[in-house]
Amino acid sequence: MTEPQRLVLALDTATPAVVVGVVAVTDDGPTTLAEQVVHDHRRHAEMLTTLMQQVLAESGCRGADLTDVVVGCGPGPFTGLRVGMATAAAYADALSIPAYGVCSLDAIAAAHAAAESDEAAPAGEVLVVTDARRREVYWARYRDGERLVGPEVTAPDAVDTGEATVVAGTPGFTDRYELAVSSATVPTAAALVAVADLAAPPAELTPLYLRRPDAVELKDQRRKSLL
């Protein structure tokens, strides 16, 4: 590998998994130096810092060596998404390096494209769906790496599959459609970096909740019951 131009800490907590990795960016593109993926949506907060320490140690990098932070901004459930974004923002601020936010569904689509790069991928569009809880999914549709529709949140049966020939994303939801199922289930560290525009000035990190948090809705329901 040629000398990296950037060393990026990439993380995502928008899906039921916690994804953390260190990625080297060269003229040949992003290369993952270390990555940890843990599937446990109930322990995002307690695992994230430990996983960050692990990938830094495995990659042989120090925090001071990092040049950028990339974080998935959802769409995702309120609590898990907030944990990842707040951690990314705080870490970038502590190191005085930029933090870039990306759509987590875009990164899953990019992970699918990377997984299929050595094979003849089916022609057509790619559907990405992730668990939104409340019997709903977050979804978007892509062609040639470009997002055509979404991100949106709907019931699984209300997803517009369009001309998709393959579906990527959360297992248990991807098998609800009569489509080939991709091996890409979460945003990989390299895919998060691949969809980030590191050449542009970083914008403010903005979460893609797509709906109000559960606590607000429960409070409104109690108010309505009292009335």
pLDDT at 81 over 60: yes
Q: Which of 47, 45, 33 is nearest to 189 (CA)?
A: 33
| pLDDT digits 0-9 by tens, 189-211 | 999 999 999 999 999 999 999 97
| pLDDT digits 0-9 by tens, 86-118 | 999 999 999 999 999 999 999 999 999 998 865
| pLDDT digits 0-9 by tens, 127-185 | 999 999 989 999 999 999 899 999 999 999 999 999 999 999 999 999 999 999 999 99
Q: Can you give the pTM of this predicted structure?
A: 0.89
Alpha carbon separation from 133 to 75, 79, 106, 129, 170 (Å, rounded): 12, 12, 20, 12, 11
User: What was the pLDDT predicted at 175?
Assistant: 94
